[in-house]
Structures are given as C-alpha cells and as structure tokens.
Amino acid sequence: MAKFDTNVQELKYKVLREVATLAYEDRLSTGILDIPETIVPGPKATMRCCIYKERAIVNERVKLAMGGDPSVPGVVEVLNIACDECPVSQVTVGPSCRGCIAHRCQNACPKDAITMVNHHAVIDQSKCIACGRCVSACPYGAINKNTRPCERACKVNAISMDENRKASINAEKCISCGACVYQCPFGAIMDKSYILDAIRILRESDNNAKYQVYAVVAPSVAGQFGARVGQVVSAIKQLGFRDVVEAALGADMVAYKEAAELAEKGFLTSSCCPAFVMYIKKNFPKLVPNISHNVSPMVQAAMFIKALHPNSKTIFIGPCVAKKAEQKWDTVKDWIDCVITFEELQALIDSRGIDLASQPDVEMNNASYYGRIFARSGGLSDAVAQALKEQGITEEQFKLKAIACSGIEECKMALLKANKGVLPENFIEGMACEQGCIGGAACLTHGPKEKIEVDKYGKLAMEKNITEAVQILQMAEQSAKQRSGD
C-alpha cells in the first residue's frame, strides 16, 4: 500500500478499496453493509467517541465512494455526522485576559458583544460576528479568533457554518479545488468518487472487445506511488485498460496552440486548471474573454485518442478534484468518460491484488519535457516560451511576460491587477493548488520531492521537442479525416 500524508487519506483509501473489491466480485449489494465493521472492527474506538459513531461515519463515506448524493451540487460534499469536533465559537477570550480598565476590546466591538464580568472580558456568541476587531485591540493578545481548517483552506470563501454549526459549501462560490477535502483534520469533507463508473466502463468493454478503454494519466504521477512511472503504467494495463496515454502529450498540444493564440491576442490567462477557470468565471467576469480558448491537456489528449480510435472510452487519472467537475462540462463530457484520482487508482490496484513493485517498467514516450513539467508551477509558462521559439515567433514580434501563480491567493492578486489594467505581465499561468498539480488535493503525498520527481520524469523526454510531440496529433487528425472520407 502506498504511503499517505495523513490517516484521513488512508481511511478514505480503505473505504474505496473495499467498495472496489466488492464491485469486482459482484458482491456490492450484499456486502456493502459489512464495510463499516470491516474497517472499524472494534471493540475499542480509535478515532471517535465510540465504534458506533466511527462505523456510522464510514457508512457515509461509502455513499461518497459510490457517487455521493446526486441532489448535492458540485463534486464535494460535507459529511455532517463527521463535522462536529471543531470549535463552534470563532472568537474566544483566553486566560491571559487581565481585566484591564482600558476596555479596548469592548470599545472596538461594533455589536456590543463584549461585557466585563468579574474583571474578565466575556463574549456573547449570539452577537459576535467574528470581525476580529477585539483581537487586534487587546493589548495582551488574550483574544483569539479560531478559524476552522476548512474555512481557512478555502481561499474563495465558499465554506461557512450553517445553523447547526456544521460546515456548509456555497456552490455558487465553490471552484471544486478540493483544498477543504485535504485540509479537514477529521475527514468531514470528501470528494464524490466515480470509481464504480470506472469499473463499469472497464468491465463492460469485455476486455476491450466491445470498445477500447484508454487511460489518460497526469504527469504528476511521477513519485506518487513509491514505484517507477513505467511500473504504474503496467499496473494500469493490468486493470483492463487497452493502453495509457500521457496527459503531457495533451499539454504539448495546448502549449503549442496557446503560444500562437497569445501572440495573436496579446494577453491571455491559462485554461489548463479547471478550478482557476471557474474562479475567473465566478469572480472576474470581465476577464472571461481573455481565458485561453484551448481545452485542457486532459481533454486534448482524449481528443487525440478518439481521433485515432472512435470506438473508445477515456478515463483520466490525476491528482485533481476539479477535473471531476470539468468532466461534466458540456464541452468536455463527450471526450472524457470518467475521472478518478491517484487515491482511487491506488484503491483499484490494491483491490485487484496487483503488486506495483513486481510490475515491469514499461516506457511511455508520448510527450516532451515541456509537456511533462506542466505538473508543477511555472511549467506551463516555460512550455509556452519554448513553443513561441519553435514556431519562429521572435521577441520583436511578441515578447512573453509570464506570471506563474501558485495557489488561488496568488491568482487573485494577478487577476485583480489585470482587471484594473495594471498587470505588467501578458500571460497569467493560474494553478489553484499551491505548487501546481503536484500539490493537488488527491495526491497521495505532497512535498518538495514531488517537484524533483516530475522534473526528473520530464528530463527523460529531453530528446523530443514540442513540435515533434505535436506531430503525433497532426498524423492522428489526418488519419481520422482519411477514415471519414472512405
């Protein structure tokens, strides 16, 4: 089993693995009720107050592993039964309060929520609006503002507490980045899983006889599974996929087209990260026309596959929760049939008893170095710069001034400047996750090692430039046209 960053991820993985195992054995309808007891055998509780609550939470996780509640918008849901351990009082007075006679906290409060009781500040939580003015005013630092981890993780302010003091997601603001999923210490927020859809697509293909199933794998796979990329590819094929295509090939195609579009229009924001695209559409409508008109590398790679193999289905595998939302877009759903994450791939591999360490190290040679480094922040900008050179667009014709934004907060600053017309750069590379896709919410591990591994993986393709990679697409398009003309 792969190493995860947190025990929450491991618990999520165990549920996914059990669901996948039962689905493959055609025992899901009869065995589903046994999953909570399998994962929480007891007799003593290890995570919550009692094993019965632990099992009840696992049961809710099973529902998410099977696709979640279709009436809940978006791809992220709150498990209400699991959301009860965070402080409900956002602003509290600690023991450092000296009961000073200045009463700066009381005077700073706009809602008269603070009174002095026995020379100690007391906050009326029914009046408090958590503005934080008292926190700033207290000379002793005795007042603290407690922000829930999910709220702190959400940089678009889509999470708040509802009337029952549970986390609530505002679908109008949510960009499906998954930051709350990864940061919640109790695993009370989870992305809907489409692992059963992936299993169904694979099994109904009848070993690729009825249609061929292709995996489109994100380049951030490097370093994720404690095995070489080629071994992961072998395991994916063992699951029943006809073949594996690098999403990095799609990235090469996107970089090539995006460079030409940028030189023509003079200013663009990238379109590779669906969470970043949603953020612009929801918060900066004025800049929507400046979003690159190119599809994401995931979609571009799928287009390549379906041009060569019209009777095929594609499943994207990556570190991104937002890709699950992107798959449902009208412009995407005909190209990508299902999206699963690295967490879900690990569960699939283990549910079939596949030992990664013993798999042969097969070679993938679709993409260039520049397509592969899309996985980390700054990689897209480097690829666009290279594509401009390969297309013969000189600095006299167009000079690239790119800004690589790592995380939504950096994206916000760049977009605010662009919205006001004061951004000095002419290309915004926006990645909702910090450090780019290698920081994706559904990565098995997060850290500097992943950037090193992606760069090493990229350098394995140094003999190929973007133009040479893109020629594969051109040949596929010619082949498709010939077939349609026959």
pLDDT at residue 484 is higher than 70: no
Asked which of 21-30, 162-171, 258-267, 460-469 is least confident by mean pLDDT, the reply is 460-469
Q: Which of 206, 216, 219, 220 is nearest to 236 (CA)?
A: 216
What backbone torsions phi and psi does residue 286 show, to the nearest 5 degrees?
Answer: -65, -30
Q: In this predicted structure, what is the pLDDT of residue 266?
A: 96
Q: In this predicted structure, what is the pLDDT of residue 477?
A: 62
188-230 pLDDT, tens digit each? 999 999 999 999 999 999 999 999 999 999 999 998 998 999 9
Q: How far is CA 304 from the centre of its chain?
A: 23
302-355 pLDDT, tens digit each? 999 998 899 999 999 999 999 999 999 999 999 999 999 999 999 999 999 999
Q: In this predicted structure, what is the pLDDT of residue 129?
A: 86
| Contact call for residues 12 and 346 (beta carbons, < 8 A) | no
Burial 295-329 (b: 16+ CB within 10 A, else e): bbbbbbbbbbbbbbbeebbbbbbbbbbbbbbbbee
Mean pLDDT for 438-466 is 85
- Cα-based torsion angle of the residue sequence 306, 308, 312, 314 in order, rounded to the nearest 10 degrees: -50
Cβ neighbours of 168 (radius 10 Å): 15
83: left (phi over 0), alpha (psi -120 to 50) or beta: beta
What backbone torsions phi and psi does residue 340 show, to the nearest 5 degrees?
Answer: -130, 160
For 192, the enclosing helix (H) or strand (E) is none
Cβ neighbours of 427 (radius 10 Å): 23
Asked which of 200-214, 283-297, 324-338, 438-452 is least confident by mean pLDDT, the reply is 438-452
pLDDT at residue 478 is higher than 90: no
Q: CA-CA distance, 55 to 78, in Å (whole number)?
A: 17
Q: In this predicted structure, what is the pLDDT of residue 223?
A: 84
Average model confidence (pLDDT) for the chain? 93
pTM of model > 0.85? yes
Q: CA-CA distance, 20 to 346, in Å (whole number)?
A: 11
| Contact call for residues 23 and 32 (beta carbons, < 8 A) | no
362-399 pLDDT, tens digit each? 988 778 999 999 999 999 999 999 999 999 999 999 99
Q: Three-state DSSP class for 455?
A: helix
Q: CA-CA distance, 43 to 194, in Å (whole number)?
A: 32
Share of the chain above pLDDT 90, in %: 82
83-137 pLDDT, tens digit each? 977 876 689 999 999 999 999 999 999 999 999 999 999 999 889 988 899 999 9
Q: In this predicted structure, what is the pLDDT of residue 459?
A: 87
Give residue 312's identity as a one-letter amino acid code. S
Could you tell me the pLDDT band of residue 483, with boundaries at 50, 70 and 90? low
Share of the chain above pLDDT 70, in %: 96
Q: How far is CA 137 from the centre of its chain?
A: 38
Q: Three-state DSSP class for 135?
A: helix
15-38 pLDDT, tens digit each? 999 999 999 999 999 999 999 999
pLDDT at residue 1 is higher than 60: no
Cβ neighbours of 196 (radius 10 Å): 17
Q: In this predicted structure, what is the pLDDT of residue 479?
A: 67
Q: CA-CA distance, 307 to 310, in Å (whole number)?
A: 6
Q: In this predicted structure, what is the pLDDT of residue 2?
A: 56
